[in-house]
Amino acid sequence: MDHSGLLAALIIMLFVFSVGAVPQLGGGLCAHLIQSAGFPCTEHRTKTEDGYLLGLQRVSSRSTIVRGEMGLPVLLIHGLFMAGDAWFMNSASQSLGFILADQGFDVWVGNVRGTRWSHGHVSLSVKNKEFWDWSWQELALYDLAEMIRYVNTITKEKLFVVGHSQGTIMSLAAFTKPDIVEMVKAAALLCPITYLDHITTGFVLRLVKMRVDEIILALGFHQLNFKSNIGTQIMDMMCDGHIHCDIWLSAITGKNCCFNDSRIDFYLEYEPHPSSSKNLHHLFQMIRKGSFAMYDYGMWRNLMRYSQPKPPVFDISQIPTSLSLWMGYGGNDGLADVIDVQHTLKELKSKPDLLYIEEYGHIDFLLSIKAKADVYDGMIRFFNSVQKVLTVSGMYGVCIKPLPILVLVVYKCAGLSVPSIPSIPRQRLLFKYIMFPYIL
């Protein structure tokens, strides 16, 4: 049965009545979800270039043995209407945040501006419309950039980045900027998105056709907060008697095969988090225009902001091939459609490691009860393999112009020194140019 019409009406009501203060739960994310599961966790705060105060959490292993040796830093970036709690919604054996920590990674949890685990702005109140004057463009170029810089500064290490949904939009946009990507070692992208012109969810397409995003902005609503008092009542109505929650979730994201719908009430204690109307409008622009570009203000304002009539594109072909990428996507994902993922892959110069799961939908990559075996174990192997290659390269190689292997063999067998590079031990050269290619 098609519920998209009723859903559209209810969502419009949600949008219209979603104005309100961002509710702050007592204590931080560490106290709410992470420490109670037995994981050491500390709260951090950093400020973006445009004045937003972001919350991050640092999570380490329950094992004192593993905890004694701080592992490689991993930054987790959540999706739309979510926050850092999304990585800890299931048990310690099923949630990626917990799994990475128990595997010895130094886990950092990002929370973008406006969410309940971040901390406002240095001068703006959440009641000011200026506070909500941003889209995923600012989330990529300010929030993610600052979180990467902060983790890099604290750990003195290049980091791994994991993004889901909007977190992948932010990541791929940010990685086109050399000053950001130089601090990143590798990235794993769940439900990767740069293009949205082939989404298959009839419900979202109906909202786009109705131009709900433009109506909301025209009415002067800048904040989307479904946890406002009226918003909560409407969500309760949506999930009690009229439409079962997993039905409307599937209508928005596509059919999900494997998440535990008995935990929906628990999920809704934390989700959804606030976002901005401008952010929704930017996402709908992507759907209408089939582009991966900055926010479109219209020709005249574009000329003022960008010095050109159309917004600049984020050219993902500029992402350096030195950045190792891993991507997981599903056949039932109504938002990160397979056609759009293939479009993304064609534009990248590098060839990411890929995981395709036919039965997985958009939420399964985050909340599937089988995700550890299906998704996360492979992601961790990818991170470990990247680190091993970099470690071996650092131990046995320096950046020099290679000589032909045959020449090296001749010099070695004749007992002669290798010309032009006398400071490099002969054993290291022998390993780098003769043995190392066969080990790989």
Nearest to residue 206, comparing CAs of 1, 362, 361, 9?
Answer: 9
Contact call for residues 160 and 75 (beta carbons, < 8 A) = yes
- Condensed to tens digits (0 to 9), the pLDDT of residues 14-45 reads 555 555 555 555 679 999 999 999 999 999 99
Bridge partners (DSSP) of residue 287 are none
pLDDT score recorded for residue 222: 95
Query: 250 falls in which pLDDT band (50, 70, 90)?
Result: confident
Among all chains, which residue has been given the structure tokens 């110069």?
Answer: 349
Contact call for residues 195 and 290 (beta carbons, < 8 A) = yes
Top-confidence range, 263-267, 276-280, 393-397: 276-280
Q: What is the mean pLDDT of residues 219-244?
A: 66
- Condensed to tens digits (0 to 9), the pLDDT of residues 307-332 reads 999 999 999 999 999 999 999 999 99
Mean pLDDT over each residue of the chain, to the nearest integer: 85
Measured distance CA(76)–CA(162) in Å, rounded? 5
Q: What is the mean pLDDT of residues 86-95?
A: 97
pTM of the model: 0.85
Q: What are phi and psi of 142, to 5 degrees?
A: -115, -55
Nearest to residue 38, comparing CAs of 106, 93, 84?
Answer: 93
Helices 202-209 and 277-289 cross at an angle (nearest 10°) of 100
Q: Which helix (H) or strand (E) is 394 found in, with range?
A: helix 377-396
Among all chains, which residue has been given the structure tokens 């935990």?
Answer: 263
The larger pLDDT score, comparing residue 421 to residue 288, is at 288
Among all chains, which residue has been given the structure tokens 């931080």?
Answer: 28
Contact call for residues 171 and 145 (beta carbons, < 8 A) = no
Active site residues per annotation: 165, 333, 362
Among all chains, which residue has been given the structure tokens 């209508």?
Answer: 251
pLDDT score recorded for residue 424: 39
DSSP designation for 86: G
Chain-centre distance of CA 298, in angstroms?
Answer: 28
Q: Which helix (H) or strand (E) is 289 found in, with range?
A: helix 277-289
